[in-house]
Amino acid sequence: MTSIRPLLALALPAVLAAGCAAGSTTEAAPKKPTYTIDKEADGRDVYTEEAPQPLPIETEPAGPEAAAPSSEPVTGPAGDMEEDTDSDRSRPTGTSGTSGGKIVYNMKPPKGYKRYNAPGAYNVTKLIYPRREIFGVFTDQQRNQVADRTALGKKVGMQPNMIKSFYDWNNGFDPNWARQIWAAGAIPQYELEMQDPNVATIAEVARGQHDEYIRNLAKGIRQANVPVVFSPWHEFNGDWYPWGFCGSASKANSNACQVKNKAGDFRNAWRRMHNIFKAEGATNAIWLWQANQIGARPKVGLKQFYPGNSYVDWLGVVGYYYGEKGWYHTFDSIFMPTIKHFKKFSNKPIFIPEMGMDNYNRPKDIHNFLYGVAKRSDVIGFLWFNYNKPSEIDFRIERNAASTRAFKKYIHKAAFGFNPKSPVKNRYNAKTHK
C-alpha cells in the first residue's frame, strides 16, 4: 500500500530529545543531498525489468531453523481431498462451500527450534508458530481501531486477533497503545516507515547514525511487555518508497533511485536494529520481514535483502487482488511466485501482512484467498487492509452485504482465529468472540 500511510501515521508524544536522529555515530557521515519525494508513488503496476547485477550475499551456517518444515496435510474451506502434485501435502478441492475439508493446523517449529528471550520479557515463542491461522486487520488510524475491529468481528462472527498501525521514522513507541490492543485480545503490529530521506536513510541506520532513536523504540516495546509484531521498511523490493530498491527498469526520479539504496545497507541496518533491540531486552518484538509480491518487479531477487534466519521471525508477502484492472485476481498469481521464491533461502513461517481486493468478484475472490491461505501449513495467516481509501478503492470487508456474507461464511470453514494468549491449544469461540 502506498500514499495513505503517511497521512494515517499518528503523531505520538515524542520520546526523544532534539537531535534524536543523530544518535551515536560509528563513522563520519558523507554530505547529504536534498531529496524530493513523491508521496503519491504507487508500486502496484506491472512492468518488466532486467535482472540487476547480483550483489554479494552473506551466508549463515545451517541451523535448526534452516530445516524444511515438517510434512503434514493442509486444509481449505471446503471440498474433497486430492493429492497436491506441488508438494508433499494434501489439499482440498471444490468451491461449493459444502463440508468435506479436514481442518489441520500450521507447521510446527523445527526440531531444536530455540529463540532467545530476555529475562522478564514476554515470551513470544509460541506465537511464532501458531497452530491456527492469524486473522489480522488494519482499520482507519484516525478512528478507534480497537472499537472498529470489534465491530467488524461482530459482523463476520470472528474477532481479528491482530491490529496494524503505520508510523513514520522519529515517531516514538507508546507502550499504552500496545497494551490496549493486547488487552482487547489482539496482537499489535507496528509498521515502521521512513518516508523522508532528508530525515533518515537505511544507509545512515547501517552506519549507526540513528542508534538513539532505535534504542528508544526498543525501550518502549520492552516497557509495554506484550507481543509486538515489528516490521521496518516493508515492500523494500519496490522503487516507490524512499527506502526501496532502484532496479534497471526504474525511472531515474523514482523515490528509491533518488536515494540509491543498496541491498547490503538494508541487511546491515536491519541487523543493527535487531541487535539494539536484543541489547535492550526487547525480545517481545516479533520481527516481520515483508516484501511486495514479486510480480510487480520479477527480476529483483529477494535473497540479497535477507538479513538471515537469526534476525527474522516471519517472512511476509504483500499483495492485492486487482481483477477490475486485469492484473491479479487469484491466490496463485498474487502470492505463490513470492512464496516459492522464499523457499530458495528460508523456511520461516510466512505471513501475509497486508492484502485487500477490489470489487471485481468479491465473494469468489474471498473464497479463493481464504482457501489459498488455509491450504498451506507454512502460511500462518493474513492481515486485511480494511480501509476505505477515497482516492482509490473501498477495501473494507464490509463494503457491501455480499462481501460480508462471503467472508463470514468462509472464515469459519478453516482453522482461522485463536486467542493470542493461548495460540497453540486455543480453539476460537465464535459465539463469544474470544
Cβ-based neighbours of 395, under 8 Å, separated by 6 or more: 356, 357, 384, 385, 386, 387, 388, 389
Closest Cα partner for 45 from 301, 251, 266? 251
Residue 183: other Cβ atoms inside 10 A: 10
Cβ-based neighbours of 336, under 8 Å, separated by 6 or more: none
Instruction: Determine the Cα angle at 356 with ends 350 and 357, to 5°.
Output: 130
- In angstroms, the CA 169 to CA 274 distance is 16
Q: Is 118 helix (H, G, I), strand (E, B) or coil?
A: coil
* DSSP codes, 130-165: -SSBEEEEE--TTS-HHHHHHHHHHHHTS--SEEEE
DSSP 233: S
Query: Alpha helix (H) ranges present in 343-394?
Result: 362-374
Q: Which helix (H) or strand (E) holds 381?
A: strand 379-385
Closest Cα partner for 350 from 307, 384, 320, 313? 313
Choose, from 191, 193, 280, 354, the residue flagged as catalytic. Answer: 354
Question: Is 354 in the active site?
Answer: yes
Residue 90: other Cβ atoms inside 10 A: 17
Question: Is 235 in the active site?
Answer: yes
How deeply is 36 buried, as exposed, middle or buried, from its count of CB atoms within 10 A (0-12, 13-18, 19+)?
exposed
Output the nine-digit C-alpha cell for 420.
493470542
Residue that is written with C-alpha cell 455480499 in the block: 402
Choose, from 235, 280, 324, 398, the residue flagged as catalytic. Answer: 235
Radius of gyration of the chain measured on its C-alpha atoms: 21
Cβ-based neighbours of 289, under 8 Å, separated by 6 or more: 231, 270, 306, 307, 312, 314, 315, 316
Q: What distance lies between CA 216 and its chain's CA centroid?
A: 22
- In angstroms, the CA 24 to CA 372 distance is 46
Give the residue numbers annotated as catalytic, written as ranges: 235, 354
